[in-house]
Amino acid sequence: MPEPGYRPPGFSVKVIVVSGGVISGLGKGITTSSLGRLLKARRIPVTIVKIDPYLNVDAGTMNPYQHGEVFVLKDGTEADLDLGNYERFLGQELDGAHNLTTGKIYRTVIERERRGEYLGNTVQIIPHVTGEIKRCIRDVAKATGAEVVLVEVGGTVGDIESMPFLEALRELSYELGEGRMAFVHTTLVPFVGAVGEAKTKPTQHSVRELRAIGIRPNLIVARGAAPLAPDIKTKISLFCDVPPEAVISVPDQSSIYEVPLVLEAQGVGGFLSRLLGLPAGEPDYAEWREFLATYRADRATVEVAIVGKYTELHDAYLSHIEAFHHVQGRLGATVHLSWIDAEDLPRDPAALARVRRAGALLVPGGFGARGAEGKLLAIELARSQGIPFLGVCYGFQMAAVEFARHELGLVAANTTEIDPHGADPVVCLLEAQQGLHEMGGTMRLGAQPVLLTAGSRAAQAYGRTEIEERHRHRYEINPAYVDRLRAGGLVATGRAPDGRIEVLELADHPFFVGVQYHPEFRSRPEAPHPLYLALVRAALARKEVPPPAAAAPARA
């Protein structure tokens, strides 16, 4: 019986599945992204789909402490952070169709069932759910015109949650036929004991688990602290039934951007090309190598303080971290990130001293009252001491609140997110948000145009006045305060076409820019984001010409 959603192949896509074994957190996303880069370097049209086997429809409602940052796509999809890695490694923008979740798949199947589209049949995981999964993957191939679709399966093989997805991919390999699908399995090879003996047993077990569901891996990517010795590779090859050249060792790297070259050096590009009958051209890594060479140049150092409330989990700010890596790869100046928990600032003078010593300050996005007072203290310090500052989303809103309180004398200024009935709601709920109760996918999301004032710092950084950036917010600068902010010196230099404030900056400061949108999502190794570049450049310039020693102390 052909399952609903099934269409006979008829088109020539090739699929590479990346699964994971032993434990999660092995850098499967980086492996997948790097495999994508290998194909891209060979000019093969490629795209990537991430499968997240959880019941959430998307990552938008999830706490950053559980899965790290929510990565916003241009179409407004709130996606898993791996989508950010894919975009950065491929240099391509993806949309929501590239992030499948159990919740999304089941929602579609159940909606179809309610419309009676299954014509009286019993609706089951096989073939209906698996059919929907395959349909989604085929649709991505069709919509993008990719010759190869990489599919990363989140979680580890053996999880109940990922079963329907692996079954769908097994079916797909049968339907696509010989030589059209490859399975890459990422595992951990731990080193134990005083002599650091490499242990292959966990890999053997997880490959056996994969085989039990009818999937035979073609390539094993072994992660671990150190490179695998040849005899260990041979052992894995023997036990896991793959040729020795298909056992790839990826030891920890100083930069994730090394991984494509680590794979390439072990012949992975050629191996996959032969396996899938792809054109075998010479790969081109010219720009990529240039990025890495500059990244390591260490011509100067600069310290950027990041003040947020999820600072223990750096994944919560992944795209910001990567944006600074991209800047390092462009300027050749080593960027050290100094993580400061916003909640420490009001109670710990040492934490505030760390902000004071930093070369620049970034206050990223966030939600709610926790940590807000600390962010205000850090921003006040940056503003009054001439420390280059970039405020992103909540950081931008907080910059307006801080300015209103301390420069305009509006002591009760706040965002209505924290103080719904305060005297001076400098930041207030977007009109479209009023009366909304559903949480998922309801913020102002995705790419929106922004018009910059010619000659402003923002326009100078971008080198143009018409830009498009990704958004994720419910609140905005209250238009009723814009004139007063401007009179005080905090000027709106970027607006949405409807007039909404998108950028605020201080003219009389080395670099003090706040943006309502999220620039971090669009930074790429080969194209660092202009605002992060401008921030670090300002910090470097300030280092060369130190501020006068007698600068007025901040209020704090």
Nearer to ligand GLN, 76 or 329 (CB): 76
What is the side-by-side strand order in the sheet with 475-477?
413-415, 424-429, 475-477
Angle between helices 318-331 and 82-90 (to 10 degrees): 20
- Active-site residue identified among 393, 469, 473, 509: 393
Indicate which residue of 471, 473, 520, 529 is catalytic: 520
Q: Measured from the CB of residue 300, what is the shortest distance to ligand GLN in angstroms?
A: 31
Q: Which is nearer to ligand GLN, 475 or 512 (CB)?
A: 475
The nearest distance, CB 365 to ligand GLN, in angstroms, is: 3
Please give the sequence-ordered ranges of beta strands (E in DSSP) within 483-541, or none if there are none: 490-495, 501-506, 512-515
The SS3 assignment for 169 reads helix
296 vs 474, beta carbon nearer ligand GLN: 474
Q: Is 116 helix (H, G, I), strand (E, B) or coil?
A: coil
Smallest separation (angstroms) from ligand GLN to the CB of 471:
8
Name the one residue in this structure whose structure tokens are 């005297």.
423
* 209 labelled catalytic: no
The span from the CA of 377 to the CA of 276, in Å, is 57
3-state secondary structure of 285: coil
69 is known as an active-site residue = no
Instruction: Return the residue matching tokens 């290998």.
Output: 38
| Beta strand 444-452 pairing with 466-473 | antiparallel
Distances from the Cα of 124 to the Cα of 4, 53, 173, angstroms: 11, 17, 21
> Under the rule (CB under 6 A), what is the footprint of ligand GLN?
365-367, 393-394, 417, 472-475
What is the token pair recorded at 386?
Answer: 């001439």
Q: What is the DSSP letter of 524?
A: B
- Least distance to ligand GLN, CB of residue 400, Å: 12
Q: Is 473 helix (H, G, I), strand (E, B) or coil?
A: strand
Distance CA 96, CA 478 (A): 31
Catalytic status, residue 393: yes
DSSP assignment letter at 527? B
- In this structure, what token pair is assigned to residue 448? 């929106």
Minimum Å gap between C-beta 417 and ligand GLN is 5
The DSSP secondary structure of 188-230, one letter per residue, reads E--EETTTTEE--HHHHHHHHHHHHTT---SEEEEEESSPPPH
Cα 16 from chain centre? 21
Give least dist CB 83 to ligand GLN, A: 17
Q: To the nearest whole angstrom, how small is the minimum distance from the Cβ of residue 372 to ligand GLN?
A: 10
Residue 463, φ and ψ in degrees, nearest 5: 75, 15
Instruction: Choose between 271 and 521: whose C-beta lies nearer to ligand GLN.
Output: 521
| CB closer to ligand GLN out of 204 and 433 | 433
Q: Point out the residue whose Cβ comes nearest to ligand GLN.
A: 365
Instruction: Report the catalytic residues.
Output: 393, 518, 520
